[in-house]
Structure 1
Amino acid sequence: MAVPKNAKRGLGKGLDSIIPAKVVTTAKKPEAVTPPVDGQVVKLNITKIEPNRSQPRKTFDEDTLIELADSIKQFGIINPLIVTDKKDHYEIVGGERRWRAAKKAGLKEVPVIIKDLTEQEIAEIGLIDNIQREDINPIEEALAYKKLIDDFGYTQDVVADKVSKSRVTITNSLRLLKLCDHVRQMVIEGKISTGHARALISIENEEEQITLAQKVFDEKLSVRETEKLVKNLGKTSKPKKTVANKASLDAVYSSLSEKCKQAIGTKVEIISKGDGTGKIEIEFYSNDDLEKITDRLCKG
């Protein structure tokens, strides 16, 4: 990636661990009789290079591409693209954003490192290269982590080590994939931040999640306000009994009490707790009463 004088970090630990850092610069072009040695930095005609269609990154911010193109016009491409030879063309393994910006800058040739890689290495390098770009959106980043885990069997710890980030960062990023598609798109478009999105993850109902996300966007709520909104959403008050319902239940209990009284021969009271539970109280006035009651209950 081409960078100005105040440039930030390069490809990072992850990509360097896959591609040897030591390269040999050569003035020869790939079209020369002597083919370039694997790992050499050479220049290729930009029209002979094509992006990798299977890479997870699908969106490129136009403004940042223009900024990078301006930088390339002044300083050139500092970090060569990584490509692999596909016989009829060269496919980008890492550096598609630089390639796009170079085209905008009007470059005819770009520096590349031609690597002989397996399909797994191509996929892994492409993913890590995209993850380490500063302008990648949070959803694409999360999808890239998931692909590393699903396709290569990596644990979150291994992924964290390869991209030089903490395990917590990886975990929090993957949690964004619990969002429904509509809310994910709002994150991609920058309508809500990752902080807002994390607050909405706990809402399992898709319609409620979308409604609250739209409310956050429309009312420009802060992350703190969003968290409070989600917390209050989970509070549901118990339905109050109406006078009509209470009177109806009382009539039922009174009728049952009377039936029990006639069957047993003494006062019976049914006491409800209001939630479908309660107790039955049976009065007796002597040991003989008790014996008669228990005898009737035991005999059904």
Structure 2
Amino acid sequence: MTNSEDQRLQLEPNAQVQNIKVNSIKANPYQPRKTFDEARLEDLAGSIRVHGILQPIVLRKTINGYTIVVGERRFRAAQIAGLEAIPAIIKSLTDEDMMELAIIENLQREDLNAIEEAESYRKLMDDLSLTQQEVAQRLSKSRPYIANMLRLLHLPKDVADLVKAGTISGAHGRTLLTVKDTQKMRDIAKQTVKESWSVRYLEAYVNEQFGNKIKKTNSTEPKMKPKMIQQQERQLKEQYGTNISITTNNKKGQITFEFKSEAEFKRLIHQLNDKYNK
């Protein structure tokens, strides 16, 4: 739990675990997560059938029963497992507490992607009228980190979907945002996926193509190149016995052969001529 969540869920000295009927429990209406991985729920349900629920969920009492504060995934798995009642702790919380805790719990998911994380920060700001600085303080993060994540929400939907699917990373997405032409951004995103570009290579490519001032990293050139190009360089190096560099620029490319003497130059020319004349 984060510090803010832990503070709100500190249990009273006399707090007790109670067995609450599953059919009297409802989902948190402020839960930002609308879909759950069915396969993982089935796995958890199988574990619950064997071992039971090891950690009680947290509920708030309502007029018509109970509302989940923390533990909706355990609750759904318990339903699949066929449990009639589950262990729970009852807490007195405000609607604002419910909103915040639901979002914070969502942020702690293992499978959370960068877009969902950014959406959670935006929801905290919108629902609770918080500034970026206030969100940062509540979640023990820096304000620049929150601001950088929120930038991802400006990506076109099809590019954002690539981040959601894990096809490209959030860092890829932030780099693509420096391309102001939306169609060019989409084209570069597709090329990034097709050629498995690293973030470093994408930064260098965008900086070269559009003159954006992107922070450069202390990495060597081969690490910045797509895997396919690195593989071709290695094969050519083995074939010709010298360092070879392949560079691409706006759908054009260049292959550079390195030689350190006239004799080595003549050897390379001879090899290339033999290859061409075969």
Equivalent position of 1:182 in the other structure:
158
Verify: 1:14 aligned to 2:7, yes or no. no
Q: When the two structures are aligned, how many residues end up with a matched partner?
A: 212
Aligned residue for 2:53, secondary structure, equals coil
Aligned residue for 1:17, secondary structure, equals helix
Equivalent position of 2:36 in the other structure:
60
Give the 3 Å change call, closer, same or farther, for CA 68–203 of structure 1 in structure 2.
farther
TM-score (normalised: structure 1): 0.62
Match of 1:109 among 79, 85, 104: 85
Match of 1:132 among 83, 108, 114: 108
Q: Could you tell me how far apart the structure 2 residues matched to 1:93 and 1:156 are?
A: 24
The structure 1 segments of at least 4 consecutive aligned residues displaced by more than 4 Å after TM superposition are none
Aligned residue for 1:224, secondary structure, equals helix
Give the 3 Å change call, closer, same or farther, for CA 23–126 of structure 1 in structure 2.
farther
Deviation at 1:234, TM superposition (A): 0.8
Deviation at 1:15, TM superposition (A): 0.9
* Preserved contact between residue 56 and residue 140 of structure 1 (Cα < 8 Å): no
Q: Could you tell me how far apart the structure 2 residues matched to 1:60 and 1:138 are?
A: 17
Match of 2:145 among 169, 175, 178: 169
Q: Could you tell me how far apart the structure 2 residues matched to 1:164 and 1:72 are?
A: 33
Verify: 1:230 aligned to 2:220, yes or no. no
Q: Could you tell me how far apart the structure 2 residues matched to 1:21 and 1:85 are?
A: 15
Q: Could you tell me how far apart the structure 1 residues matched to 2:40 and 2:143 are?
A: 29
Equivalent position of 1:198 in the other structure:
174
Deviation at 1:75, TM superposition (A): 4.1
* Preserved contact between residue 114 and residue 169 of structure 2 (Cα < 8 Å): no
Where do 5+ consecutive residues of structure 1 fail to align? 1-10, 25-38, 237-300
Q: Could you tell me how far apart the structure 1 residues matched to 2:90 and 2:75 are?
A: 14
Match of 2:56 among 73, 80, 84: 80
Residue identity over aligned pairs, in percent, reads 41
Q: Could you tell me how far apart the structure 2 residues matched to 1:224 and 1:110 are?
A: 49
Match of 1:121 among 72, 78, 97: 97
Give the 3 Å change call, closer, same or farther, for CA 137–74 of structure 1 in structure 2.
farther
* Preserved contact between residue 50 and residue 92 of structure 1 (Cα < 8 Å): yes
Deviation at 1:144, TM superposition (A): 1.3
Where do 5+ consecutive residues of structure 2 fail to align? 213-278
Deviation at 1:74, TM superposition (A): 4.6
Output one character per residue of 1:126-152: Cα deviation in whole Å (capped at 9) or x when no partner: 111211222222212211111222332
Q: Which has the larger radius of gyration?
A: 1
Aligned residue for 1:82, secondary structure, equals strand
Deviation at 1:198, TM superposition (A): 1.8
